[in-house]
Amino acid sequence: MEQLVLDSRTRLLVLTGAGVSAESGVPTFRGMNGLWENHPVEAVASPQGFQADPALVWRFYSQRRTGAADVKPNPGHDALVRWEAHLGDRFLLTTQNVDGLHTRAGSQRVVDMHGNLFRTKCADCRREPFDDTSVHPSGTVPKCDSCGGRLRPDIVWFGEMLASADLERIGEFVSRKDGTRLVFLAAGTSGAVWPAAGLVDEVRTAGGETWLVNYESAANTERFQHFVQGLSGQVLPTLAKLV
């Protein structure tokens, strides 16, 4: 297998998707065939879906909260923790996963670009999002203490914008001018959801080297210079040479 060299001149941006959590037992979106209990995923993961049936949306996310609380990080998550310990501030991990497994594994420099399953915010007022593990499986919609409006999961849904602070943090990392060699590695992502799918092009424009670790070919595989096909829990632990 090709080796990714992580030395004192390297700065590494990692992007992870649902595939990295698959070996922990979290179902991938595409793996569910885009359906949850026969509802299109968009019906339970979009502002329009929440408007139409907020109780259904809370039932979906209650199930996901319960499921994610029971799973554990896998060797793919652990490998990224070791890479970060080696690289320090020359490491940044941006994830499309909302299950919190990277943080639970011990990763620290994490951008939760699609939000966090265990955080809630108000759909109707501007109070700060807050940590929340509560579940509402039986058709109830939790109410906001501040305004009496409807609470919702702090997830970036289909059709919503990513937080600008998150995009800035990634952009600053990519364009950092400190003489280090920029490397980008995407793992376990279908390359079909933007803006994450475009990061490979941003990094190439900035002169960086690009790697993809995925079980199947992704929608943007040909944009990467290196493609290692396999399961992230098996590939990541042996891919990097830390020097």
**Catalytic residues, which ones?**
114
Query: In what order do the strands lie in the sheet containing 226-229?
Result: 110-112, 91-95, 10-16, 181-187, 209-214, 226-229
Full 3-state SS string of 78-132 = HHHHHHHHHHHHHEEEEECCCCCHHHHHCCCCEEECCEEEEEEEECCCCCCCEEC
Interface residue with ligand APR among 67, 215, 227, 237 (CB under 6 A) is 215
Q: Does 128 bind ligand APR (CB under 6 A)?
A: no
Using CB under 6 A, which of the segments 52-60, 63-71, 166-174, 208-216 binds ligand APR? 208-216
Q: Does 28 bind ligand APR (CB under 6 A)?
A: yes
Interface residue with ligand APR among 96, 107, 120, 220 (CB under 6 A) is 96
For the chain, what percentages of helix, strand and coil (3-state, to nearest 5) are there?
35, 25, 40
Site pattern 187..206 for ligand APR (x: CB under 6 A):
-xxx-xx-------------
Q: Does 180 bind ligand APR (CB under 6 A)?
A: no
CB of 51 closer than 8 Å to CB of 39: no
Per-residue tokens: 112: 């939760």
Block residue for tokens 């941003």: 202
Block residue for tokens 């609380």: 69
Query: How many angstroms separate the CA atoms of 98 and 168, rounded?
Result: 19
The nearer residue to ligand APR, 11 or 23, going by C-beta atoms, is 23
Using CB under 6 A, which of the segments 58-66, 164-172, 184-192, 200-208 binds ligand APR? 184-192
Q: Does 44 bind ligand APR (CB under 6 A)?
A: no
Residue 49 amino acid letter: G
Using CB under 6 A, which of the segments 58-66, 103-111, 128-136, 212-220 binds ligand APR? 212-220
The nearer residue to ligand APR, 11 or 77, going by C-beta atoms, is 77
Site residue total, ligand APR (CB under 6 A): 23
Site residues (CB under 6 A) for ligand APR? 17-19, 22-23, 28-31, 96, 114, 188-190, 192-193, 214-216, 218, 231-233
